[in-house]
């Protein structure tokens, strides 16, 4: 077992996911995701150590469509190859955390 937690939200056009776990577990999962033909154009926006998990009780919860995802991810997605705008990235991560807390 990888001991990975996180949250996944989706809109009609975009998916956004936060993964939390050890570096080795995340690397293993990302290798699996990159080999899966169902996944395309996967972009890692941030890969960093964290002090505390935001989603310790979730195991990759799918939370259905979220309208905020379209606007926030689209701004990040059109910047492919560029450094993500910290404001938009922060808002996206906050939005995912808020969205999953409401459902919990």
Question: Worst-scoring range by mean pLDDT, 13-17, 68-72, 92-96?
Answer: 68-72
| Distance between CA atoms of residues 55 and 92, nearest Å | 15
Q: Which residues contact 96 (CB under 8 A, 6 or more apart)?
A: 7, 9, 16, 18
Q: Which residues contact 19 (CB under 8 A, 6 or more apart)?
A: 4, 5, 6, 26, 29, 30, 60
30 token code pair: 């990302």
66 token code pair: 């979220």
Q: Does domain 5-103 have CATH number 3.30.930.10?
A: no
In this predicted model, what pLDDT tens digit does every residue of 30-83 receive, in sequence order? 999 999 998 888 888 888 899 999 888 876 555 556 666 667 666 666 555 555
pTM for this prediction: 0.71
């Amino acid at each position: 077992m990888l001991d990975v937690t996180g949250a996944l939200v989706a809109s009609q056009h975009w998916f956004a996911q936060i993964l939390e776990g050890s570096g080795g577990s995340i690397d293993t999962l990302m290798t699996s995701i990159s080999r899966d033909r169902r996944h395309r154009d996967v972009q890692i926006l941030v890969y960093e150590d964290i002090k505390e998990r935001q989603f310790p009780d979730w195991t990759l919860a799918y939370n259905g469509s979220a309208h905020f995802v379209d606007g926030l991810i689209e701004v990040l997605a059109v910047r492919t190859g560029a450094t993500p705008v910290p404001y938009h990235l922060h808002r996206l991560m906050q939005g995912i955390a808020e969205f999953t807390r409401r459902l919990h």
